[in-house]
A and B are shown apart, each in its own frame.
Chain A
C-alpha cells in the first residue's frame, strides 16, 4: 500500500486524491457487500449481438451524458467562475432538434443522422452563445444568466416538435444509444472516450488551457497581457454547447424518443457536483478535466450502488446527499490542512521514536 512507504500525502496526487479515494471506497464497499457486484459477463441483446454486461458496464455506460457535460462545465467554471444551470434544458432542445431533423425526411440514413446531429449541435452552440454573451459581455453572474434558459428551455423544446413526443425507429439511432453490431462496448462509452480525446487534442494544439486559467484566476491581468477574456468566456460556453448537444443526442438515442419534460432532467446539478467532486474550484481558475470525469463516475457508482441495495428511487436522493456531504467536507481546505498537519505530526513522532530506539540500541 502507498501508506506504508511513508511518501503518501494528500498532495501527491493533487486534486484527484479525493475522487479516486471515493471511487476506491465505493468499489471496496460493493465487493464486501456482494463479491459478484463487479463481475462482467457477455450476454446477447435483442439483436443477437454479443455484448458486455454487468454492473460495472451499466455504471460506465449510464454516466456517459454526465461525464460529457462535466467536461464542458469544467471549462465554463474555470473561465467564468460560475456554472451553467441550463444544460439539462438545453440538452432537451438539442435532442428535440435532433429528432425533428430525423423525422423530416422519409427514411433515416447515416447521412440524415449526421445532418441531424450537426443541426442540433449548431442550435446548442447558439444557445451557448446566448448564455456566453450574457456572461461575458453583460457580465451577469453565470447562474443568473443561465437561469433564463433553465426556465424556458423545456418550453422551447416543447414547441420544436409541436408538443408531441415523437419516437424514432432506426437501427442507426438505436446503435448510438446502445450497441453497434459487432462491438461489445456500449456506444455512449465510446463517445465519452472520443470526447475526452478531442478535449485532450484541443488543449494540446491550442493554448486554451493557459488562457482559460489566466482569465479565471485574474481577469484584469489576463486582459493586460492581451488575452481577450470575453472571447475565452464565450468560447467556453460554445464548447459546452457541443457537449450539451452530444449528450442530448445520446439521451434521445437511448430511448428512441424525445421527451422534452424528462430528458436529462436535473442533470445540471449532478454536472456541477461532478466538477466539484473532481477537486475543481467552483470559483474558477485552475482545473483538471480528468477530475470532473472521475467525479461523474463517482456519482453514477453511488446511484447504482444504492439501487443495487434496493433503496427506492425516492430515497436514493437522500442517501446520495449524505455521501456527497461527506465527500465535499473531506475535500474542503480545512480538513485537507488538518489532515496534512496530522500526517506530518505522525511522521515526526515516528522519526523521534526511531531515533530513541537507535540510542537505546
Chain B
C-alpha cells in the first residue's frame, strides 16, 4: 500500500479577481484525523471543493493512493472514494433513515425495501448510531442526522471522509458521540479531513493540523507539537497579545446610565412572557443551551415573530413594536442567527446588501442614489475590512465571515441606538470573531446598547456586563459583576444554584 492516502500538490484555483488557492499542498495518511484550519477566506472551503469536484482546479495535481487523478464532479469524487458531509445537513428529512442512506445510489431500482432497511440497521449498529432505519430522518436529533450522513458516506466504501464543520449545530454530548464515531472510523483506516472553527475540538480528536492563510499553505504540524496559542497566531498571522488584552477589559460601569429599552411581560408566538431592559451603552447577553429560548426572546424584542403581549418603553415612552420595521424606526437593529436564511440577499451585490436596511428606513420614495450608495459601501468595506473583489460582487460569493461583516455594515449604516446580535460569530474564524467583539465594545463606548448572543460562553463573558440566563424558555437568572464567570453561568444554566 502507498505511504500516503491522498496527496494534493501545488493546487491552484482562480476566481474572477481573486487567487483563492496559490500552490497549496495537502497530505492525508490513512487512519488519521487531519484538521484543516484557517480563517474565513483562507481557502479551506475552496480546497475541499476542489477535492470533491465541485470546482475544477486551475493547476496542481491530486493523487489518491499514489495514482494521479482528475476529479470531474461530486459524483465522480464519491465513486473514487472521497465522501463529504457538509455543515448543513443535505439529506431529506421527510424520508426514512434507510432511504437517506441509500438514496440516489440505486443501481437496482427493484431492491426490496426490507433488504435496504436490514442493511441500514447493520451499518447503524456497527457505527453505534442510535437510530432505527425505518424512522423518519426529520424525527432524529441534528447530531443523529449528521451521523446518518456519515453512515451514508461510510457505506459508499469511502477512503477519504471530509467533515466540513460537522459540530457547529451540536451540543457537547452530541459532539462526544460524533468524535467516538470518528475515532472508530479512524481505526478502520479511513482518512478523515476535519474542518472546524472550534480549537478545543481540534485538539481533542485530530492527529495532524494543516493551516492555510490567504490561499497559501502555512504548514503542516503534529497536533501534539503545536500549542493552541501558536495555532491561532499561525491562522491569523500575528501574535496573540490582542486576544488576551481583550479578555481583561476594565470593569464596565454603566449602572448609572439611563435605560434605553424596557419591556414588561413581552411575549411572542415563539417566546414566553419575559421582562427585559437595557441601558445606554450597555452590552448584555442572553445565554442558555440551544432551544432555551434565547433567540426567540430577542426576536420578540425586534418584532420578528408575531408579538402577542407586553408593554415596551423606549427612552421612557411607551411604544408598540409589532413588526421589524417598527423596531427599526425606533433605532433597533437585529442581526439574525441564520445568516443564509434571514440575513443575506445572496444574488444582490455587496453594495445593495449594505444599503438595504437604511433604504427601508428612508422609505420607498427616497431612494439612495447610486453615488451615495457606492460611497457608503466603500466606506464600510474599508472600515470593517470586508474582503470582496468589488462592491458589485454578489454577496453570496463571499466567505461566511465576510458575509457577516456585510450584514453588520448594513445595520451600522442605520446608526442604531440598540443593536441585537444573535450568534454573530458562529462559523466564523478567530480573527473575524475578535474584530466583531472589538466592534461591539467600541459601539458600547459610543453609547450604543448591544445585546449579544453566542453559544461560546467565554466570548460572552468577555464582552457582556450582564448575562440573562435562560432554561426551557424561561429566564432563570441574571448575572452581573463577580458572578460573571464560567462556573456560575454553568451552574445557573444547569439549575444547580439552590
**Chain A residues engaging chain B, CB cutoff 8 angstroms:** 204-208, 210-211, 213-214, 217-218, 220-228, 285-286
Contacts and interface: CB of A to CB of B under 8 A. Distances in A.
Interface in B322-354: 323-325, 328, 334, 336, 341-348, 352
A4 to B, nearest CB: 23
Contacts of B341: 218, 220-221
Given A213-B345, A226-B324, A226-B361, A205 B367 contact: yes
Interface string B349-366: 000100111011111111
Nearest to B327: A226
Give the most central of B304, B325, B363: most A CB within 10 Å: B325
A225 B410 CA distance: 10
11 contacts: A206-B365, A207-B363, A207-B366, A210-B348, A210-B359, A211-B360, A214-B345, A220-B342, A225-B360, A226-B324, A226-B328
Contacts of A211: 359-360, 364
B324 A208 contact: no
Interface in B374-415: 410
A224 B365 contact: no
A216 to B, nearest CB: 9
B156 interface: no
Contacts of A286: 347-348
Nearest to A286: B347
Contact of B324 (A205, A206, A217, A224): A224
Contacts of B343: 221, 224
B431 to A, nearest CB: 26
Contacts of A210: 348, 352, 355-356, 359, 367
Interface of B: 302, 304, 323-325, 328, 334, 336, 341-348, 352, 355-357, 359-368, 410
Contacts of A221: 336, 341-345
Contacts of B365: 205-207
Contacts of B366: 207
Contacts of B359: 207, 210-211
B367 A224 contact: no
B23 to A, nearest CB: 18
A225 B422 CA distance: 15
Nearest to B343: A221
B347 A224 contact: no
A295 B285 CA distance: 53
Contact of A207 (B304, B336, B364): B364
Given A217-B348, A286-B347, 6 more contacts: A218-B341, A221-B344, A222-B345, A223-B324, A226-B361, A227-B360
A224 B361 contact: no
Nearest to B394: A286
A205 B367 CA distance: 6
Contact of A206 (B304, B355, B364): B364
A104 to B, nearest CB: 36
Nearest to B329: A226
Nearest to B352: A210
A217 B347 contact: yes
Contacts of B323: 226, 228
B344 A225 contact: no
> Quick one: which of A205, A214, A218, A225 has the most chain B CB within 10 A?
A225
Q: Which 8 A-B pairs have the closest CB atoms?
A: A226-B325, A226-B360, A207-B367, A226-B324, A226-B328, A217-B345, A207-B359, A214-B345
A210 B364 CA distance: 10
Nearest to A206: B364
A224 B344 contact: no
B367 A214 contact: no
Nearest to B335: A224
Contacts of B328: 225-226
Contacts of A207: 359, 362-368
A224 B345 contact: no
Nearest to A11: B16
Nearest to B299: A224
Contacts of B304: 224
A221 B342 CA distance: 4
A221 B343 CA distance: 5
Contacts of B367: 204-207, 210
Given A210-B352, A286-B348, A225 B364 contact: no
Contact of A214 (B334, B356, B362, B364): B356
Nearest to A231: B364
B95 to A, nearest CB: 24
Contacts of B334: 224
Contacts of B336: 221, 224
B346 A218 contact: yes
A213 B341 CA distance: 15
A204 B370 CA distance: 10
Contacts of B357: 225-226
A111 B268 CA distance: 54
Contacts of A204: 367
A107 B216 CA distance: 81
A222 B343 CA distance: 8
A219 to B, nearest CB: 10
Q: Which of A205, A207, A222, A226 has the most CB of B within 10 A?
A: A226
A7 to B, nearest CB: 14
A237 to B, nearest CB: 17
Nearest to A227: B360
A228 B323 CA distance: 9
A231 B342 CA distance: 19
B297 to A, nearest CB: 16
A205 B355 CA distance: 16
A45 to B, nearest CB: 43
Contacts of A225: 324, 328, 356-357, 360, 410
A227 B342 CA distance: 12
A214 B342 contact: no
